[in-house]
Homo-oligomer: A and B are copies of this chain.
Amino acid sequence: MRDVAVIGVGLTKFGELWDKSFRQLIAEAGSKAILDAGISGKDIDALYVGSMSSGRFIGQEHIGALVADCSGFSYLHIPSTRVEGACASGGLAVRQGYLSIASGLNDIVVIGGIEKMNDVGGVSATETLATAADQEWEAFFGATFPGLYAMIATRHMHEYGTTKEQLAQVAVKNHANGALNPYAQYQREITLEQALNSTMVAYPLGLMDCSPVTDGSASVVLCAAEKAKEYTDKPVKIIGSGQGSDTLALHSRRDICTLDATVHAAKMAYKQANLTVKDINVAEVHDCFTIAEICAIEDLGFVKKGEGGKAVENKITTLDGEIPVNTSGGLKSKGHPVGATGVAQIVEITQQLRGQADRRQVKDARIGLAHNIGGSGATCVVNILEAM
């Protein structure tokens, strides 16, 4: 397989963007990434786009073609493919684009991630998000994602003594990071008391344990590594990529506190990158709920199983901690436009490894990891990047 590098990144502001349509968002993120990479339309061999549920949110499927069209590339007839894996759609799109270059077929590929979740027709966002769960065995009986992750949290508390305070500390940390990110939905710090006393959603998860409903788009330009220096002085190489699946329904898992899809994807990515978790300098992990970040840092091997809560309490994962996690603010504070999230993680890691993360910059970050989850963990993508 050929080596592949990120040569451009672009992001829209994340938030409740009542004045921006799906088409505007994807075109804005894509244009920024293309401008950042310094390429033109005719350099692009293919497009990949991750979106979870454009069909339900905005009544539009076939958005691979739409993205080529509304980006002004339809006259070039560029292959454009949509990939879906619930909230891991963005990570999957990055991985498919990566493989298409690694295969030798394409030299330059633009990846987009997008979700328009506010100001949309039809049913509620929560109901559409629940289509990422098992319809027959979960959603049909009324389970939504806050409820499913609440079950993971209570079990984690029971097994490992994880506390509601430790969950709240994930939110406090991520809001502190988000306050430094001009693209974040919530650019403000919160206190531990605010997090602990927020409206209960599904015990033990309060409102401040939950990521919000967000509009937004992210884009990255990938290039065959051997050609990357023609476009940028600071290419960032994808040195490992892993993907795993698991049962769609949470109750079918061998252990609901361990996301085996993460364990599997991480093992694949570490092996390909030929490194261990000790080599990771910065990570974006999938904190759709605070408990999800605790599970993620355990399943990725940053800490032992059961010690995630304690690690957060001991500030291992803060901006100046041993292994800074979710420097962007994470899904909690930056926002979670589901199809865009996995691509936005690559944007943040790229900026960190380029030394362009401004007030969020992790000192001497050279290797970064992005971890993207679909549903309650039935899909996981892990990508590891290194400054070239």
Contact = CB atoms under 8 A, between A and B. Distances in A.
A56 to B, nearest CB: 5
Nearest to A86: B62
Interface stretch (A11-19, A73-81, A188-196, A201-209): A73-81
A176 interface: no
Stoichiometry, as copies per complex, reads 2
Interface string A57-88: 01111111110110001100111111111100
Given A105-B99, A264-B77, A245 B64 contact: yes
A333 interface: no
Contact of A61 (B81, B105, B131): B131
Interface of A: 1, 23, 46-47, 52-53, 55-56, 58-66, 68-69, 73-74, 77-86, 92, 95-96, 99-100, 102-105, 128, 131-136, 139, 243-249, 252, 260-261, 263-265, 374-375, 378-379
A166 to B, nearest CB: 28
A77 B246 contact: yes
B80 A245 contact: yes
A378 B245 contact: no
A264 B135 CA distance: 39
Q: Which 9 A-B pairs have the closest CB atoms?
A: A65-B378, A103-B103, A79-B243, A77-B264, A62-B86, A61-B131, A77-B244, A74-B247, A68-B245
Nearest to A79: B243
